[in-house]
Structure 1
Amino acid sequence: MALADEVLGRYSTQYLASITNPQASGETTYDSTRLAYACTDIEAEFAKIGLTYTDTTATHVATAVAGVVALLLLRSGQVGGKEGWDAWLENLNRLRLVTANDRIMPTTSSELTPSDENPENNLTTRPFFDRSEFASYRPGSDREDPTDPVND
């Protein structure tokens, strides 16, 4: 379903007539040209943040429909148009954060640091408890001490 159809399905004709025909207060039908342009512009806003609008994704539809109305209110100069548009841009930014391939970098508050590599002979440094003297404390270790009485 096209974005314009999604908007038409969610808002009354009277409301759409008032925001697509701001100069004609007595208009009873919506201006399909202005509605189509607004839909195209909202799809372009999606493209700006790295998303392709698709009507099969509920978050895209909900955000885009609200964007069309916010854009029409902004363009018609109606009260609250600028605030609505700014709020919609913030909503679009939240959508971008979770769907536009933005990666949240892993962080930690741990004070531990990884073992350093041993550059000599391409050997790596093993963790302290991987040393052979701790083999008897690791169940099933293939490096268990044969002289240990626990291994009898």
Structure 2
Amino acid sequence: MAENISTDEVVILGDESINSNVMCQTQSVQPKVAKERKKRSRAWDNFGTFADEEGNKKAKCKHCGQDYFADSVKNGTKAMLTHMLTCKKMPKVVDKSQTQIGFQSVQGGNTCDVVVVSWKFEQEQCRRALCRMVIVDELPFKFVEKEGFRNFMKVAQHHFKIPSRTTVTRD
């Protein structure tokens, strides 16, 4: 990119009695280039920037492709942060190591009686329970690889990684 350099010529006329020479002084003035500020908002983790055909700065969602104006002086990041809450294709981050709460019905009580219990997902416990189910119910091993069972497990427990014959783990 070519820099614009403006040159101002200043002529200083000296007093004839002091100095009979005319001094010419040339001074170069370079415009200040504004540094781009660091993007601090967490919105920029999920948005990429570009300029549209009219030269406006815009941001595009990396997940669904929605466009937003993104000039830091004029627009800010509020619209992008709001979009992150409602974007259907944005992956939800869930800490699997954190204990969650669940509801369990009380035995012997009404159908509406529930108790709040703590719950933590354990991959190994789920794998053992699946193995026990296949053995006790005398199901074929291929049962867990079928589409119906996989769909059921996505709904019942989407964290569970279904073992297959190609990924055998030894105890």
The TM-score normalised by the length of structure 2 is 0.20
The TM-score normalised by the length of structure 1 is 0.22
Structure with more of its chain in strand, by fraction: 2
Structure with greater contact order relative to length (CA < 8 Å, sep ≥ 6): 1
